[in-house]
Every structure is written in structure tokens, then in C-alpha cells.
């Protein structure tokens, strides 16, 4: 939203905290969340005037649409004629099965289902097992690297490589917000 970034940067610069960094970050995020909520309320009040104006314009357009639906125009009968023709062309009226013309929709549905299910059926019931004697395996060093603690650099790289506009975390902020501010 316009003005949001400037608002958050201003609030971040104006925030002061004396204490440990982890408590400071949690306090700052809580402070930001409350200030953002206030900003959203004020922004909604500001936008209400624009919203009411757009709502009035939509009402005018809706009246015009209703009038057009009732009165139509020169293209309406042509359009409806084309749609009726397409509907009748695409209709399945019946299926010739063993010399009998079948017109019941449920029976036709079953016949079509049986026909196509035979066409896409798996040719064999069980597949042979997969054997890969030359499959690559992890070395002892690689295996140990999977259980060692993460470094601060790895954590920072992971955060910076994440898509930022995904779902927010438990604190309500997504990665894009955290990286930017």
C-alpha cells in the first residue's frame, strides 16, 4: 500500500530499547504490529471516501447492465442462436451398442466410461522391482554434515534466499517484511 514502507521505516527508526537483543527484537516486532494495526485503521478510514464513490459508480453500471439485460441489443439474438447451435452439435443423443440405439444418459455414461477405461488401463498388474547397483550414496562426511548444528551464515543465507511473500510466521510477519525492515 502506498506510504506503508515509509511508515514502517519511520517507526523502526523511532523505536528505542535498552536490553538484550532477543527481547529487543520481540518487543520491536510487537510494537510494529500494534502501530501497523493503527495505521491500517486510519488508512481504511481514508480510503472509505474513495470506496463509497466507486460503489456509487458500480451501482450506476449495474443499472445499465440490468437495462441491457432486459432490452438487449442487436447482437443478443445472434449470440443466443450461436450458443443454441453449439449446444445441439455437442450433445450426445445416443450410442449404438450391439445394433441397439441407446438413449438413456446414465447408460450412455456407463458405456463411455467402460470404453475409455479399457483404453487407459495398465497393461500389467505388477511392475518389476527397481534395481540400481550403481546408485550414489553419501560419504561418512556428508552423512555427518546432515546432523551438525547450523552456522549463523547458513541461517542468514536461508532467510535471504526464501521467497518473501509467502505465509507469515507465528509473529504475523513474512520474510519479505523481515528482510526489508
pLDDT per position as a tens digit, 79-127: 788 888 888 787 778 888 888 898 888 988 898 898 888 888 777 777 7
Give the torsion through C-alpha atoms of 19, 21, 27, 33, to 10 deg.
150
Domain ranges for the chain, please list them. 1-73
DSSP letters, 113-179, are: HHHHHHHSS-SSSSPPPP--TT-----HHHHHHTTSPPPHHHHHHHHHHS-TTS---TTS--HHHHH
More confident of the two residues 130 and 35: 35
Instruction: Write down the pLDDT at residue 153.
Output: 92
**118-174 pLDDT, tens per residue?**
888 777 777 777 777 777 878 889 888 889 999 999 988 887 887 777 777 777 888
Amino acid at each position: 500500500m502506498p506510504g506503508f514502507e515509509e511508515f514502517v521505516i519511520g517507526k523502526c527508526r523511532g523505536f528505542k530499547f535498552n536490553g538484550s537483543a532477543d527481547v529487543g527484537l520481540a518487543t520491536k516486532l510487537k510494537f510494529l504490529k500494534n502501530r501497523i494495526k493503527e495505521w491500517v485503521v486510519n488508512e481504511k478510514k481514508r480510503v472509505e471516501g474513495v470506496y463509497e464513490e466507486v460503489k456509487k459508480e458500480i451501482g450506476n453500471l449495474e443499472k445499465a447492465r440490468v437495462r441491457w439485460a432486459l432490452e438487449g441489443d442487436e447482437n443478443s439474438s445472434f449470440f443466443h442462436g450461436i450458443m443454441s447451435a453449439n449446444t445441439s452439435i455437442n450433445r450426445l443423443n445416443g450410442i449404438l451398442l450391439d445394433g441397439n440405439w441407446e438413449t438413456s444418459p446414465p447408460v450412455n455414461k456407463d458405456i463411455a466410461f467402460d470404453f475409455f477405461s479399457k483404453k487407459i488401463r495398465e497393461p500389467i498388474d505388477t511392475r518389476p522391482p527397481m534395481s540400481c547397483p550403481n546408485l550414489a550414496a553419501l560419504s561418512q562426511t556428508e552423512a555427518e554434515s546432515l546432523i551438525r548444528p547450523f552456522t549463523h551464515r547458513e541461517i542468514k543465507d536461508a532467510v535471504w534466499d526464501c521467497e518473501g511473500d509467502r505465509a507469515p510466521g507465528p509473529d504475523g510477519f513474512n520474510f519479505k517484511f523481515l528482510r526489508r525492515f
